Each structure stands twice: as structure tokens, then as C-alpha cells.
Amino acid sequence: MYNEKVMDHFMHPRNVGEIENPDGVGQVGNPVCGDIMKIFLRIKDGRIEDIKFKTFGCGAAIATSSMITELVRGKTLDEAMTISNKVVAEALGGLPPQKLHCSNLAADALHAAIEDYKRKRVS
């Protein structure tokens, strides 16, 4: 069902947890469909200095969350905004087709966290 890379991220997720007083937080998904992803950001000099996640969901949901934290750590916000759900799935070596729609939301959660950071800075 899942390839080795997905299973590796699922069983050994990177950067699990929360950041206290984060600079940005993003949450997507809903309990009805069974996937909730929450991403916490620490931003320094326009770059993602630290990123953590918490995810309720299936193997794909957890693996994509883990993968995106590796993809964007150290990146500028503009660079991070270019990361799409598709890029995350490709970085994992692909996901089963039925998972591409329901559980591949990590980039949405990341973008929501970046928007949250930008909103907070303006206010």
C-alpha cells in the first residue's frame, strides 16, 4: 500500500511536537473526514528556523506532515510558499491515488501557518 519512504516517515515521524509561543500556527482538515494537521513555526530573519507538527490521521497524513517539516526547515517564507501538496507527495516517492485527495494536506497546513505569521506581524 505505502512505499518504504512513506512507512519510514509514518513510523519515525520527524519534528513531532509543538513550539511554545510559536510565530505562526496553521491547522487544516476536520474530524469528520479523519485528518487534522497542525503546524507550528518559529521564524527568524524571514526564514523557518524551527517547525513542528501534530497530526491526527492515517499513514499518509502523518508521513506527509513529517516530510514537509524536513522540506522547509531553513527555507525562506517565499520558498516555503512554493511547496505544494504535490511536491510533498513526490518527495515521499508517491502516495496511493486515493490518498492524494483526502490526506495530502501538509502544504495547506504549512501555508496556513505562514499566513498566520504574516497576519500577526501586521497587527
Partner 1 sequence: MRRVYLDHAATTAVHPEVLEEMLPYLKEEFGNPSSIYSWGREAKAAVEKARARLAHLLGAHPAEIVFTSGGTESDNFALRGVAAANSQKGNHIITTKIEHHAVLHTAEQLEKEGFRVTYLPVDRDGLVRPEDLEEALTPDTVLVSIMFANNEIGTIEPIAELARIAKSKGVIFHTDAVQAVGNIPIDVKELNVDLLSLSGHKIYGPKGTGALYIRRGTRIEPLLLGGAQERKWRAGTENVPGIVGLGKAAELAEKELPQRMKHLTELRDLLINGVMERIDHVRLNGHRTQRLPGNASFCFEFVEGESLLLNLDLAGIAASSGSACTSGSLEPSHVLMALGIPPEVAHGSLRLTLGRDNTREDVEYVLSVLPDIVARLRAISPLAPGGVKEDV
CA distances from residue 57 to 23, 30, 52, 102, 119 in whole angstroms, order as listed? 25, 10, 16, 10, 28
From 11-19, 43-51, 74-82, 113-121, span contacting partner 1 (CB under 8 A): 11-19
Q: What Cα–Cα distance (Å) separates residue 102 from each residue in 40, 85, 91, 96, 105?
A: 21, 11, 18, 11, 8
Whether 58 is catalytic is no
Active site residue: 1, 3, 17, 33, which one? 33
Q: How far is the CB of 57 from partner 1 (least distance, A)?
A: 5
Residues found near partner 1 in the complex (CB under 8 A) = 2, 7, 10-11, 13, 15-18, 20, 27, 31-38, 52, 54-59, 61-62, 98-99, 102-103
